[in-house]
Chains A and B, each alone.
Chain A
Amino acid sequence: MFNSSLKELSAQLADRKISSVELTGEFLKRVDALNPVLNAFITVDPEASLAQARIADAMIASGRAGPLTGIPVAQKDIFCAKDWLTTCGSKMLSNFVSPYDAHVIERFNAAGAVNLGKTNMDEFAMGSSNETSFFGPVKNPWDIKAVPGGSSGGSAAAVAARMAPAATGTDTGGSIRQPAALCGISGIKPTYGLVSRYGMIAFASSLDQGGPMAKSAEDLAILLDAMAGFDGRDSTSLERQPEDYAKDLERPLAGLRIGIPAEYFAEGLSLDVERAVQAAISEYQKLGATIVEVSLPNTRLSIPVYYVLAPAEASSNLSRYDGVRYGYRSANYKDLAEMYENSRAEGFGAEVKRRIMVGTYVLSHGYYDAYYMQAQKLRRLIAADFAGSFEKCDVIMGPTSPSTAFDLGEKGDDPVQMYLSDIYTIAVNLAGLPGMSIPVGFGDNGRPVGLQIIGNYFSEAKMLNVAHQYQKATDWHSRMPNI
């Protein structure tokens, strides 16, 4: 049951082989057993989950069930869920019980899905290892000495350890794809604007995008169907016809043109990751795809550009945490200015404070043109690289991360070392393109390797088709860690 696909679980629910209350109870038991080791969940509320399961069972009994009705889904703790503690991995929000639902949560509720709990994450989604969480790091189920990646590390670990059939994540610079890769699961960051940001706690609003994380592309398609769609409360939500993301899953890959950027196989890529990614590309050739060389010459620049733009947007977004309307307030102050300064000094962790300060600096008088404006101009060049490549190919493939999961504490106190590990994922966010990661093998240390698939705008159905055909021919996605 723990390794079953969403379709299989849904069929068992429809055939009354199991009720949602029973299914939810089994996953809650597994969470209870494994969470003390993995720390993947910040909040579990069995009563609230089981209450939703009972509603789902009633929906099933009355013939109103959809593909997600009764299925437990773990929610990243960045999504506001009414009456649930919603912390965003921060001390600042460690007492914040949300008074409302995010659009994504509303969608899952309407579909009859069960909220299995809120997953751990890097504080305010700022990190690539889950080590910046106020609630302690998540452990990688494949090797508990290793990080799960970040920032959606709790969701990735929960799905990898089969504590949840599926989970949600958000991706600002790789936060769905990189932890999916490091934990050996599948995850997709949709085109910017497809999934509403309403109720999704803001980090860098021009880059943030929610998406699903699961065991397979087939499951991702079902989840994306529920998550995507127009929402007037998000000013950047796109008004498009609803799409069936599973519609192309079974299409054969003959004639598929895969773009391979030389820049993604250059210095800095671990040999074991390269070997697994090349083997996956060979498998695609067996499935009928052809390889096209493409070039993304500004890849290297995406890191400095991102570390100007994302902190700039974050410094503005996080100014709302002032210790007045919600969240943490210091006990220690003489006047209003000190109340702000001490609340923020005590409520934010070191990485969040660094990014707020970088953002404040690049937006400050006299520096704006040199940093913020220059970064926005380079962002256009980075997007143009992709546009040029997609004239020659249908999807772009390469590694998701330059190495397999690193050890907890390995990157130490040097933030720049951590930033460099985002090299293959960041440019996709800057361009607003969809990107996904699927498992394609293991490195020398037995830790998973992810293949990144980048598509053109709104090509999610095609990307899921490309991923699904590989997963029909291989079994990496159904491997489970021994935990």
Chain B
Amino acid sequence: MSISLSDVKRIASLSRIAVSDAEAEATRAQLSGIFSLIEEMQAVDTAGIAPMSHAQEIVLRMRSDTVTEADQHEAFQKGAPQVEAALYLVPKVIE
């Protein structure tokens, strides 16, 4: 299966990954190779087979709605790129 350049740009944008025009061409070739491999799946008739999303048939556990974590924001924000007054800073999004 062949992926087009505009497909690559659309996927990259959905993935929030910047790609230059030169990278897009190399990526197009590699993704086309990967999708040719993936296409082998289409030959199998899977009508009536239930999808398997997980290896174990488990039911998610419930827990009581109580506070379990102590406030550790200082430790957790130590590695953040930009923090001020315990807030994460990002470029302005609202004018």
Q: How far is the CA of A238 from the CA of B4 in the complex (A)?
A: 44
Contact with A along B30-67 (1 / 0, CB 8 A): 11011111111110101001111111101011010000
A193-B55, A342-B18, A364-B14 are known; give 15 further A-B pairs, CB within 8 A.
Answer: A97-B78, A235-B60, A235-B61, A307-B38, A315-B15, A327-B81, A337-B16, A341-B17, A344-B17, A358-B34, A360-B15, A374-B41, A374-B46, A430-B55, A433-B55
Does residue B2 face the partner (Cβ distance < 8 Å to A)? Answer: no
Does residue B22 face the partner (Cβ distance < 8 Å to A)? Answer: no
Cβ contacts under 8 Å, A326 to chain B: 76, 79-81
Known interface pairs A307-B38, A308-B38, A356-B17; A432-B49 also in contact (CB < 8 Å): no
Q: Is the CB of A415 within 8 A of B33?
A: yes
Does residue A483 face the partner (Cβ distance < 8 Å to B)? Answer: no
Does residue A236 face the partner (Cβ distance < 8 Å to B)? Answer: yes
Contact of B42 among A327, A348, A374 (CB under 8 A): A374
**Interface hub of B17, B33, B58, B91 (most chain A Cβ within 10 A):** B17
Does residue A95 face the partner (Cβ distance < 8 Å to B)? Answer: yes
Contact of A357 among B27, B90, B93 (CB under 8 A): B27
Chain B facing A: main interface SS: loop
Q: Select the stretch in A63-71, A171-179, A250-258, A379-387 that faces chain B.
A: A379-387
B27 to chain A, nearest CB (A): 7
Q: How far is the CA of A334 from the CA of B46 in the complex (A)?
A: 48
- Please give me the residue from chain B that is nearest to A345 by CB atom: B18
Q: Select the stretch in A143-151, A155-163, A298-306 that faces chain B.
A: A298-306
Known interface pairs A95-B79, A304-B38; A415-B49 also in contact (CB < 8 Å): no
How many residues of chain B are within 8 Å of chain A by beta carbon? Answer: 51
Q: Is the CB of A341 within 8 A of B34?
A: no
Within 8 A of B (CB), among A393-429: 413-416, 419
Does residue A34 face the partner (Cβ distance < 8 Å to B)? Answer: no
Q: Is the CB of A345 within 8 A of B19?
A: yes
Q: How far is the CA of A206 from the CA of B17 in the complex (A)?
A: 25
Q: How far is the CA of A364 from the CA of B16 in the complex (A)?
A: 14
Contact with B along A350-386 (1 / 0, CB 8 A): 0001101110111010000011011111111101000
Within 8 A of B (CB), among A300-338: 300-301, 303-305, 307-308, 315, 319, 322-329, 333-338
Cβ contacts under 8 Å, B31 to chain A: 354, 357-358, 361
